[in-house]
A and B are shown apart, each in its own frame.
Chain A
Amino acid sequence: MGLKSERSVFLIFKISKLLCYSPETLTTNTSTEGEGESEGAKMVKFLKPNKAVIVLQGRYAGRKAVIVRSFDDGTRDRPYGHCLVAGIKKYPSKVIRKDSTKKAARKSRVKCFVKLVNYRHLMPTRYTLDVDLKDVVSGDCLQSKDKKVSAARETKKRFEERFKTGKNKWFFTKLRF
């Protein structure tokens, strides 16, 4: 159990390094002051749909995911803040210029997962991924196995086409930790 918590802590450390928001820029009070004094009472809710997050615990620890739907106050079964995320189980490999189209297609495959995750087990990032998954990953898609599989298959399609356009490169690169 101690090993697991160490791993997640190590994960957070690596994440904070890799999110390219160096602590040096944050420790100067002036940078955060500007926002604090201009709008004293305004706080931004940031765990919203389309936010890219990193899963910190469980089987998918270290994987990047997108918030599809958030339940801030929880539900009866889960009386805590949690959200439905769609993430990448297996990242696409690096496609090089030498690869044939068949090989490139094979390398660009993405394996996805859909999961309900507690807010505590997520690390939000400053990135977003606006892929429309609302109709695919709905509230009841985790009720039965085949619904879950079909939802994952559909998100796989959407993720793959987004990967092929070359946008959101950060999301499709594996987080090294």
Chain B
Amino acid sequence: MVAGKKTKKTHESINNRLALVMKSGKFTLGHKTVLKSLRSSKGKLIIISNNCPPLCKSEIEYYAMLAKVGVHHYNGNNVDLGTACGKYFRVSCLSIIDPGDSDIIKSIPGDQ
């Protein structure tokens, strides 16, 4: 199906963009720092894995709603998101503070 192909392609592009952010931009990983970045209105995009606990997920989404920041639900669990960030640990939620060279902020919310 076309839809299936499309998601695979966009999924790879998200990973590419994330890798670029990791290299050139500023980000924070983890629930506590994500909330901190939202409170100080530094976060520009929030990415949540699909197995993030529902309480944490709704808390982050609520803060993001108040701060008018986009939330992207990553198509993968925290292990995948950690791998996509190039880390050897699990990442349930991350906040992009400065995208650097990447265009993740402009492209990702509009994509899905």
Contacts and interface: CB of A to CB of B under 8 A. Distances in A.
Interface of A: 9, 12-13, 16, 19, 21, 23, 26-27, 29, 32-33, 35-37, 39-47, 72, 81, 119, 123-124, 126
B64 interface: yes
Nearest to A13: B55
Contacts of B29: none
Contacts of B42: 43
Interface of B: 39-45, 54-55, 57-59, 61-73, 105-106, 109-110, 112
6 contacts: A12-B59, A26-B61, A27-B73, A37-B70, A40-B105, A47-B39
Contacts of A33: 70, 109-110, 112
Nearest to A28: B73
Interface SS of B by simple majority = helix
A26 B67 CA distance: 14
A35 B70 contact: yes
Contacts of B59: 12, 16, 123
A23 B55 CA distance: 10
B62 A21 contact: yes
A35 B70 CA distance: 7
B69 A16 contact: no
Contact of A81 (B39, B45, B66): B39
Nearest to B32: A120
B69 A124 contact: no
Nearest to B46: A32
Nearest to B57: A23
Contact of A43 (B54, B55, B65, B69): B69
